[in-house]
Amino acid sequence: MISLFLLAAVTQPAASVRVAFDRHGETSVQVAGLADIGAGRKVTAGDPVRIASISKLVVALGVMRLVEQHRLDLDRPIVQLLGKPLDSYPDYKQTAGDLVRDQRWSAVTPRMLLSHTSGLANFASLEPDKKMHLHYAPGSRFAYSGEGLNLLQFVIEQREHKPLEELIAVAAQRKSVLPRSPDHCRSVSRPTTQLLVCQL
């Protein structure tokens, strides 16, 4: 049995939602705390919560559903999946110029982005020049990279012409571990990360 523990607030009293599940689906749901401290409203299992890096698990499961459906090849280079240079997209125009000129970039695959072995740093915004760089040969070692997961999301959205949260919800039909519809997920941008906030 696996449990997800999701914090909805950092200050006391914290609100939490615990969803336990096994291969057959949900086995229990527990909630505690307040969703709205000011109003004294208790949290419910239906309240959206900030799940931070747990969203990477949801993204990974959704990506693997796309792989199962033969809609994504984990070992095809990103440069082939995109079809045009990464720095030609407005979202990456300012940050990916040096990256696309690095010969090693052509070896980076979705599998590497998903497994944090691409060579990218955690986030370009944390680099001294605020740009994306490969710090080691792709596939040669692990180094946590939120930037890699954000890039994988971007690649999938470009190929599928839909937001990732919608693709994950569709791919996860009847899977209680994942959101059941796009209405239960939203993407939230932060200065150093991209979050997928979902109601389970």
Query: 180 and 169 in contact (C-beta within 8 Å)?
Result: yes
- Confidence class of residue 197 from pLDDT cuts 50, 70 and 90? low
pLDDT digit string (tens) for 52-88?
666 777 778 778 878 888 889 999 999 999 989 999 9
Dihedral, 17, 21, 26, 32 alpha carbons, nearest 10: -20
Torsion region of 161: left, alpha or beta (phi above 0 gives left; psi -120 to 50 gives alpha): left
Q: Is the pTM of this model over 0.75?
A: no
Mean pLDDT of the chain: 78
Q: Residue 8 has what pLDDT? A: 40
Task: Name the residue with higher pLDDT: 11 or 87.
Answer: 87
* pLDDT in the model for residue 157: 87
- Looking at residues 145-149, what average pLDDT do you find? 91
Domains of the chain, each with CATH number or no CATH: 1-49 (no CATH), 51-200 (3.40.710.10)
Query: What pLDDT is attached to residue 127?
Result: 94
pLDDT at 186: 57
**Cβ atoms within 10 Å, residue 96:** 21
What is d(CA 83, CA 122) in angstroms, rounded to the nearest whole number?
25
